Structure 1
Amino acid sequence: MYRSCLLILLFWCGIINAQYSFSGYIDTEEWQNTVYLSIVEDYRKISGVFSEQIIGRAYADATGFFEFKGDMLDAENRIYRIHIDKCSETQRDINHFNGRCDNSLELLFIANNHDILNLPLSFGNQVFCDIESSNPKANAFVKIDSLKEDMRFAYGEYRSQANRKLNNKKWFKTLQDYGKKLNEPLAELYIYSYISDRSSDLHNYYVEDLKNNPYYDKLKIRLQNTYPKAPYTKQYISEIEADKYMLAAFSNQDSYTHNYLIYGLLFTSILINFYLVSIAIKTRKTKTKTLREKLSKQEQVVLDHLLKNKSNKDIASSLFLSVSTVKTHTNNIYKKLNVQSRDEAKSLFNK
């Protein structure tokens, strides 16, 4: 009762001052005390760790409490993410390349500029399991993730191709219907991004469904009416129109033209992949150059030998140094690179 009254009071205070407050607790013994708040404007990057999406950073105190507050968010509902990880400041950029991080925990939610949101610790100090918010739409993604867990359990009951096909058909419809029942277009977008993902087993059902199901046009109307200025709306319209165009192109052209289209897409994909690889290589070279600049010239020479898997004795012999001097250089290298072993040092520089 007290918690409910407190949330109501905070809610009205937030409306009066047009400010948001997102707070909660983390287990500082398990996680770094840095907590990040991101706004998700591209629903194809709805899950992951993307530095360009981060709009705030908070530090948990000794009790694990953290808070984001201010008045800079959109007045309309948007998709936000709070995440924590176990990476040090030096390792973070490397480990978060391409938005992937195995040592992170995230929570997606819907909020706006005057929402009060609290993320308490659950049983056993579990983090990001419960949402208390003045916004009734806040926990829509949590509900969907819970349904997806049920789906994964159903797939695992019996592993066979036949069982997988039956579950694909069932869960495609189940997820789509569940999104409509939530009465929140942003929640439907979350499900749409999942079932239309080309890497998903459900993608084939999406392609067939798009041919005749008016659901997708109706979702476009719901988005335009509810979020006319949101980037998600423009992104969704562009994707649906592109997919429909591709379907029409494939159905109207003969096999000769069809093959040329495939080759064109393949060629474009190769060019894009080459471009992405070149960007990744350039980024990695910049990072490794920055790391090397932290070392003295002698330490850089010792590092080159370490990367070639030479022992301290071999390095000492090659550089006409004592083994103890080599050990001193090695310890300095570890300290400056923020690593604990040769393997960690090699992971920063080797391909």
Structure 2
Amino acid sequence: MYKPFLVLVLVFHGLQLTAQQAVSGFVNFDDFNTWKPKIYLSQVALSDVENNSKTKPIAIADIQKDGFFKFDKKHFSDSNKIYRLHVERIRQIVNDTVAKKVTFMLSANDKIEFKKGVKIFGDYSTSNQADKEWQKLKDFESKLIHQYLTQEETVKPRTGFVKDSLQILLVKLVGIKELERKQLLDKDISENEEYYLNLLSELQSSDLNPSTYAFLERKLAYLTNVDLERKLTQSRWLNFGLGFLILLFGIAIAKMRRKRYKVLVSELSKQERTIRNLILQGKSNKEIANELFISLSTVKTHITSIYSKLNVANRKELLQKSTGTST
């Protein structure tokens, strides 16, 4: 009579324990004797995701003989945070390259389960949608970066992968590719035209294979033509504006010279102004002398004074400076 009741209690208790677990699964040690039977859970800041240094654990769990471990939901935030699991060897090994950690995104409302496999931390299944998207983005970034690594570079630490400037461009492409996948790229381009045009210019002048950013080049083809037309239009208006300013400047200088010339003319005596007007009419010195009933030498004296006051050397210069000037 008590056996069915006992079974129900055990089943209920088992379901309750399962419901309390947020992280569970297996670590896959090749030799359990070389590893500590403990697994450490840490919360990681976004800025420290790529930092391989150890973080302070928020929880520690035992690893069973078959590699099984689990962490309760009480260790996790109600909102999405980044967490890391790591294990440690009993003794350090020189040039140890075995990955001993795994990073993921999780909340107390989700579950994650690590499967058995070849790596210490094998594949896992998760109910957290944010982590799924994040892992896709990381995978795309990794594949993109590895396209530009030599066989020798592949075995180096991440800091030696590529030049900083090249890596920055690759990471930008990762983000842009993600925007395209979510069908948000066209909208973002329309709102940030200058940014994308400058980025395309950086990509074209870099060592990246053009096929890597061909999708962005196609997206910006129309925008590039529009920008070129805009620049040409701006250039035309600029040239027109400069020409107009030069014209205004020339007119202003001409007016200043005429005004100054008028002032100089006003300083001539009445007889000098009369002789100047006769010169402008094309009269010779003899004709001027006969018309004014003065001697030829007097005419020449007046003309010398006129030239000096108006700062001219001969009749030709006098005619040039007087063009368009009324007296």
Q: Tell me if both proteins adopt one fold, taking TM over 0.5 as the criterion.
A: no
With normalisation by structure 1, the TM-score equals 0.37
Higher RCO by CA contacts (8 Å cutoff, separation 6 or greater): 1
- The structure with the larger Rg is 2
With normalisation by structure 2, the TM-score equals 0.39
